[in-house]
Amino acid sequence: MNVRTISPEQALSKLMTYCSKMERNEQDVRKKLQLWAISENDSKKIIARLQDDGFISQERYVSSYIRGKFVYNKWGKTKIKYGLLQKGFKDSLIQPLLDDFFETVDYKKTITKELQKKNKTLHTDDLYERKAKLMQFAQSRGYEFDVALSCVEKIINS
Whether 3 shows a pLDDT value over 70: the answer reads no
User: In angstroms, rounded to a whole number, what is the distance separating the alpha carbons of residues 148 and 129?
Assistant: 16
Backbone angles phi, psi at 104, to 5 degrees: -95, -5
pTM, two decimal places: 0.87
CA distances from 85 to 47, 67, 117 (A): 21, 16, 29
- Percentage of the chain with pLDDT > 70? 98
Could you read off the pLDDT of 77-104 as tens digits, one per residue? 999 999 999 999 999 999 999 999 999 9
Backbone angles phi, psi at 23, to 5 degrees: -60, 130
Mean pLDDT over residues 101-128, rounded? 94
User: In angstroms, rounded to a whole number, what is the distance separating the alpha carbons of residues 21 and 11?
Assistant: 16
User: In angstroms, rounded to a whole number, what is the distance separating the alpha carbons of residues 128 and 125?
Assistant: 9
Query: What pLDDT does residue 5 have?
Result: 79
